[in-house]
Copies of this chain bind each other. A is one copy, B any other.
Amino acid sequence: MTPEPSTAPVTSTTPDAGGPAVQLPRGFRAAGVTAGLKASGRPDLALVVNDGPDHHGAAVFTSNRVEAAPVTWSRGVVGDGRVDAVVLNSGGANACTGAQGFLDTHRTAEHVADVLGVSSGDVVVCSTGLIGELLPMPLVLAGVDAAAGALTPAGHLEAATAVMTTDTVPKTAHHPASGWSVSGFAKGAGMLAPALATMLVVLTTDAVVDQAELDAALRSATAVTFDRVDSDACMSTNDTVLVMASGASGERADADALARAVTAVCADLARQLVSDAEGAAHDIAVTVRSAASVDDALEVARAVARNTLFKCAVFGNDPNWGRVLAAVGTTRATFDPAALDVAMNGVQVCRGGGVGEDRSLVDLTGREVHVVVDLHAGDDEATIWTNDLTHDYVHENSAYST
C-alpha cells in the first residue's frame, strides 16, 4: 500500500503472486509447525529467532484498552530494546483470559527461553484467534519444542503460514537495499482498524542499525501504512507489529534508508491485508485531497471508509455518491458543503456539493475502487484503504465462534 494509490503499485512478493518465496535476512531462523491448537489441523505455531550479532527490537501494539495477555507481556519485553525471539500462535487469542492467561503467556516465553538458551525477558509472544478461551498449554509447549527443532534460515514462509486464521494466503514481503534487506510477514483478515498497529506482523533486517533509529523507522512506517488500513473499523485486542535487527550483514543502514525500507515492506504487507480481508469483493482507496490538514484528510477518509451504507453500495457496484457526502458531513473537518467534489473511478459524480457527471458512467466491477473527495480547503491529502461490506463478510463473521 502506498499513501497515494495513483503511484506505481508496490510489487507483491507472495508466493501465490508467482514470485519467489521471500527469504529471511541473514542472522535469522524461523519455523512453523502444527501444535494442534486449530481444529483444522493446519500449522498454528511459529517461531522466529534472531541469532545476532545484534539483537535490536522495537514494536507497536494495539491501542485497545482491553489488550490480550501476550500484548501486556510483550510491551515489557521490548521496553529495553532487545528481542531475541518471537513465538506466535494462531488458534486462540489469549485475550480476556484473566490472570491465568497472563501466566500462560509467561510460561510460553519461559519455555522458549529455556529451549533457545536466552532470557524469557527477551522473548516476544503473539497470539491470535478466538477471544475468551484459555490456550491448551501442553500443546503450546510441545509446539515450541517442535518449532525450535525445525528452525531454519529458509523458514520464513512456514512461519507466515502458521499464523494464518481466516487469511486465505500467507503474506510476506521483502525490500532489498545496499548489502542488507528487510523482510516481513503478516497475518490479518478481519478486525482491521487502526489508530494503532494492525494485526500480527514480524519484520526482520540484517542491517546494522541503532535501536532508536529502528524504533523510529517502525513508528513512522506504521503511521502511514497499517494505521491507514480500515477494513471494518473493528480494533483488535492483540495487534502487534515487531521488527528485529540482527546486524548480520555487517552493513550499516542510515536512518533514512532504513525508514524507507521498513515503510516499503509495511506498505506491501498492509496492501496484502486489504486484498485478503474477510469476504471482501472490492479494495477501496478513499483519498481526500485539498484538506486543511492531514488530520482533516484522515478524519474524512475514515468516515467514508467506515460508512456501512457506502460499503454496501460498492459491493453492489453502485456509485451511490450521496452516501459519500453524507459520511463527509458527519466530520469536523474544514470544508464548505457547497464546495465538495467527489470522483469515483475517475468520474466526477459530484461537483460543488451537487450533481456532477452521470453516475451511470462509473464502472465499479473491478476489484479496486478509488474514491477521491476534494475538500477545497487546503493542500493536504491522505488515503485510507478499506473494503466493501459483503454477504461473505456477514457470513464469515456470523459463524466464527460457534
A residues sitting closer than 8 Å to B (CB atoms) are 64-67, 93, 95-101, 130-134, 190-191, 232-237, 306-309, 312-313, 315-318, 320-323, 325-331, 337-338, 340, 349-350, 352-355, 359, 389-391, 393-402
Contacts and interface: CB of A to CB of B under 8 A. Distances in A.
B131 A322 contact: yes
B313 A401 contact: yes
A389 B392 CA distance: 12
Given A350-B96, A353-B66, A394-B312, A402 B318 contact: yes
Contacts of A395: 391
A96 B340 CA distance: 10
Given A320-B401, A398-B318, A66 B308 contact: no
6 contacts: A64-B329, A132-B349, A132-B350, A133-B355, A312-B396, A322-B401
A325 to B, nearest CB: 5
Nearest to A193: B330
A300 to B, nearest CB: 11
Contact of A64 (B320, B326, B349, B391): B326
Contacts of A97: 354-355
Given A98-B355, A355-B132, A398 B329 contact: no
Contact of A131 (B64, B325, B331): B325
A398 B350 contact: no
A65 B397 contact: no
A195 B297 CA distance: 22
A133 B236 CA distance: 40
Given A232-B308, A233-B307, 13 more contacts: A66-B325, A96-B321, A98-B352, A100-B354, A132-B349, A190-B309, A236-B326, A237-B329, A308-B308, A318-B400, A318-B402, A320-B401, A391-B395
B397 A309 contact: yes
Given A132-B350, A318-B400, A66 B328 contact: yes
Contacts of A235: 326, 329-330
A190 B389 CA distance: 15
A316 B130 CA distance: 16
A315 to B, nearest CB: 5
Given A98-B353, A323-B131, A326-B236, A398 B312 contact: yes
A95 B337 CA distance: 11
B355 A66 contact: no
A235 B307 CA distance: 9
B329 A67 contact: yes
A371 to B, nearest CB: 15
B307 A234 contact: yes
Q: With a 10 A CB-CB cut-off, give which of A133, A330, A395 has the most chain B CB atoms.
A: A330
